[in-house]
Amino acid sequence: MELTQTYVERRPLPALAGRVRTVWVQRTESQPYVQRNLPTGGVELHCPIGGVPWLVGPLTAASVEVLPPHTTVVGVRFWPGAASSLLGLPADELVDLTVRLDELWRSAALWLGELLAAVPGPDAAAELLQRYLVGRLSRADRPDPLVAAAVRRLMPWQPVEVGALTSQLAISASQLRRRFLTTVGVGPKTLQRTLRFQGYLALAQAAAAHDASRGSRLADLAAEVGYADHAHLSRECLRLTGVAARELLGGAVDRCGCGHDHSASYLPFLAGRPQVVRAS
């Protein structure tokens, strides 16, 4: 099959590590490319070189876009709630939306686009974008600490009922939901379901990187992040991505069919897991 795009992930600069999960560069070749953006719990900043940056709000289902030929996009994927101080409005107003960044940042977004277009290549653009964000975040408010603590507790490695979460944080369910909507964009239960699926993808990608024949342990991976059975996983995959797991992962349900190295994304996600990824 002819290659129509390339996608390379990298770890963020240390100054962004608490806010940004991964940085990536995507380049299309001579054909348009259909891109499926999956829910991650956070927002994403997409900067097409030579164009106006745009923001992908918190997603509750996959968002499909078509990238034109010969396009280079530098992107930043934030942790849930970590970009709230950059948005300029409550995060729930951006749920399932893609908006031009100049609608939020005005002339600063156009200036950023011009800066990125002037550097020599996508690697330099990725570096410049991160340093720009470091400066902007240094002048912004810190994320809501209670919401940040709640997000850590909602990771799939620490299963907790939302009712128990409110007791742990000494806050009412209604207050927690209000602060989640403002900061994350979705309620705690919705985020928990998204993080559970992201946890499964992270485990599958990590396991595939260690052993491409690991397919027999799929049920173990699903159970580890809290799915009752494979049917439960299948329903959630269809709900969140719009496709079955086998189609999403390119015909092999334990790895990304595009052949990309996603370690820069899944390693930070797995950092809070109590045990290391097991080899078969």
What digits encode the pLDDT tens for the residues 147-162? 999 999 999 988 888 8
Q: If DSSP codes are grouped into helix, strand and coil, which group holds residue 135? A: helix
d(CA 11, CA 21): 7
d(CA 230, CA 236): 10
Q: What is the pLDDT of residues 1-59, one digit of tens each?
A: 456 789 999 999 999 999 999 999 999 999 999 988 999 999 999 999 999 999 999 99
Q: Which residues contact 9 (CB under 8 A, 6 or more apart)?
A: 22, 23, 24, 260, 261, 262, 263, 264, 265
Ranges of each domain in the chain = 5-138, 144-280
pTM of the model: 0.89
* Average pLDDT across the chain, whole number: 87
What is the Rg, in whole angstroms, of the alpha carbon atoms belonging to the chain? 19
d(CA 153, CA 168): 10
Q: How far is CA 91 from the centre of its chain?
A: 15
Q: Is the pLDDT of residue 216 over 70?
A: no
Looking at the structure, give the CATH architecture of the domain made up of residues 144-280. Answer: Orthogonal Bundle (1.10)
Q: If DSSP codes are grouped into helix, strand and coil, which group holds residue 73? A: strand
Q: What is the pLDDT of residues 56-91, one digit of tens each?
A: 999 999 999 999 999 999 999 999 999 999 998 999
d(CA 86, CA 216): 43
